[in-house]
Amino acid sequence: MVAEKPSVARDIAQVVGAQTRAAGWLHGNGYVVTWAIGHLVGLAQPHEINPEWKAWRAESLPMLPEQWPLSVLESTKQQFGIVKKLIQVGNVEYVVCATDAGREGELIFRLIYEAAGCRKPVRRLWISSLTPAAIKAGLLAMKDGRTYDSLAAAARGRMQADWLVGMNLSRAYTILQGETVSVGRVQTPTLAMLVERELTIRDFVPETYFEVVGTFGKTPYLGTWFKAGETPSSESKRLPADGELARAIVDRVERVGKGIVQSVTQEQRRIPPPLLYDLTELQRHANRLWGFSAKRTLEVAQELYESKKLLSYPRTDSRHLSSDVAATLPQVVQAIRGPYETQLDEGTFHRKLGRRYVGDAKVTDHHAIIPTTTDPAQVSLTRDEQRLYDLVCRRLLMAWFEDHLTAVTTVITTVTSNTVTSTAIVSQPAASPTADSLVDHFHTTGTTVIQAGWKVLDIPSRKKEGDEDEPNLPSGLVKDAPQPVRKVVMEEKQTRPPNRFNDATLLTAMETAGKSLDDKELSRAMKDCGLGTPATRAAIIETLITREYIVRDGKALQATDKGIRLIAAVHPEVKTP
């Protein structure tokens, strides 16, 4: 049995009864359990394929291998030797691929198996949890390794594409630029998005504008002026930078001194409980709440999966559960419900989850991230581990809660004044009740929670700079009710550049990259995958930082001059998704 890491090998060995330790492996009860340490084998370097490719010369490009020889990695050569020897032993009947159940895990095993020259039958252990019960169930359900040939072929194709793009284009642009650069199939389009945003910010010239805000009513409420005949929006509320129009509005509204409620409308909004976490959504949420990098979230989730046995497999791109996993939820809920008991309705969890959460066709290699049945009270957790585990527990429990219901009330208050001859005033579009009057419109919204629903378990996100509190509307606001003008002011504001990407927003951009491509066929092919995979996106971000193409400034990710130079140099097809 070949696991991906020593810790996973020990868990499997415990279940199968392989208790005798040796250097690099365990054995007993008819089983031999060994491990990789991530990748033990990779594609050969250019000079190992063709000695003429050792020198970086333009005339040797493109390098297009006819065959793809493998190379044992120097750093893990000793462990490869152990694995190779064990799987070739005469009394070994078959080999179990027990690497991580996914594309990358499949590739790790296949490369070892091929480099070792092994021809023995292969069985595949495919599990989404490392609890003893999950491992036992997986052992009983092992399939012929050939069942996963398509997955292995996809992994191999991705690896070869990375080699072709990385090796050829890194050399080409290093020669052209006169400095060593790294170009990658995924990292360069990702960098291009960061560079485009950085250049937009650098070129941005803030524009001054004004808004007019009135305070109305005996119980005060605020309203913002907007252009008559238009829908209230940031654009329709914006007034010219010279301030003349804003001052004219303030003057006439102050002069009239009273307004009237033109309309009061209420819209009920219903937000269902969110879907369960896949890795990308978990990384986004942890970044928004605590500023975790994508890498940090993956590290903590992996620890909760491998060592603490509290989470299912984290490197998943599914937000749904298979029907057989859904059948185990009562035991999961029983294990995790303790800290949330006061917020739970006792009868809720007897109801089966519906198609929003459960669907065999919607589950890819792995189901959504959920807690396991391991008792968390028996496990010691760090602060970050506790935070992330709590987040996953809350997200699962939310699935049984009612929708979050709010009522959004919109009030339009008008102030009617006599027409005057000021050019500034006459130039305003007027929705006048009479020919010689002018109507100014003010927009107010307020939100009332009707039913908290799943939000009782939600952890509020930290407010962003510039976020304003939702105003509280006084009761008794009805159509045609007169409202005194208490105050009216002009507020000077400036347009802002777009925000720099952070881990959360960059993960979203990578996930959705390609959906707006002009090439419709390519856009359809990318719509469900984007740039990279949930398992690799964190590493891509960290690689860009390591190679000094971007820097992390607090939560923000900022392209460097080095990164900008590279994107300016590469061909458009290299930097687009």
Given this model, what pLDDT does residue 469 score?
Answer: 62
Amino acid (one-letter) located at 259? G
**pLDDT tens column, 114-136:** 999 999 999 999 999 999 999 99
Given this model, what pLDDT does residue 521 score?
Answer: 52
Q: Which of 23, 22, 26 is nearest to 12 (CA)?
A: 26
Confidence at 33, pLDDT banded by 50, 70, 90? very high
Parallel, antiparallel, or unpaired for β 258-271 and 95-98? unpaired
Lowest mean pLDDT across 275-284, 456-465, 505-514, 536-545: 456-465
Q: What angle do CA 470, 474, 478 make, to 5 degrees?
A: 115
**Does pLDDT of 432 surpass 80?**
no
Backbone angles phi, psi at 352, to 5 degrees: -75, 145
313 is catalytic: yes
Q: Which of 351, 288, 343 is nearest to 456 (CA)?
A: 343
Given this model, what pLDDT does residue 431 score?
Answer: 41
Percent of the chain's residues with pLDDT above 70: 92
**Does pLDDT of 517 surpass 80?**
no
**pLDDT tens column, 168-183:** 999 999 999 999 999 9
Give the strands of the sheet with 31-35, arranged side by side. Answer: 20-22, 25-28, 31-35, 2-3, 95-98, 122-124, 143-144
Given this model, what pLDDT does residue 463 score?
Answer: 65
DSSP state of 314: S
Given this model, what pLDDT does residue 559 score?
Answer: 98
- Alpha helices by DSSP H, listed for 328-403, are 329-336, 383-398
Higher-confidence residue of 421 and 569: namely 569
- Contact yes or no for 107/151 (Cβ under 8 A): no
**Does pLDDT of 109 surpass 80?**
yes
Average pLDDT, the chain: 91
Q: Which member of 305, 313, 357, 389 is catalytic?
A: 313
Confidence at 462, pLDDT banded by 50, 70, 90? confident
Given this model, what pLDDT does residue 419 score?
Answer: 65
Given this model, what pLDDT does residue 421 score?
Answer: 43
**Does pLDDT of 514 surpass 80?**
no
Higher-confidence residue of 319 and 468: namely 319
CA dihedral of 424, 427, 428, 434, whole degrees rounded to 10: 110
**Does pLDDT of 486 surpass 70?**
yes
**Does pLDDT of 72 surpass 90?**
yes
Q: Which domains does the chain have, with CATH numbers?
A: 2-160 (3.40.50.140), 186-203+500-575 (1.10.460.10), 208-271+404-494 (2.70.20.10), 279-398 (1.10.290.10)
Given this model, what pLDDT does residue 418 score?
Answer: 80
Q: Which of 261, 226, 260, 234 is nearest to 429 (CA)?
A: 226
**Does pLDDT of 195 surpass 90?**
yes
Rounded Cα–Cα distance for residues 59 and 36 (Å): 38
CA dihedral of 63, 64, 66, 71, whole degrees rounded to 10: 60
**pLDDT tens column, 376-409:** 999 999 999 999 999 999 999 999 999 999 999 9
- Alpha helices by DSSP H, listed for 382-453, are 383-398, 423-426
Q: Which residue has the tokens 């937009």?
A: 200
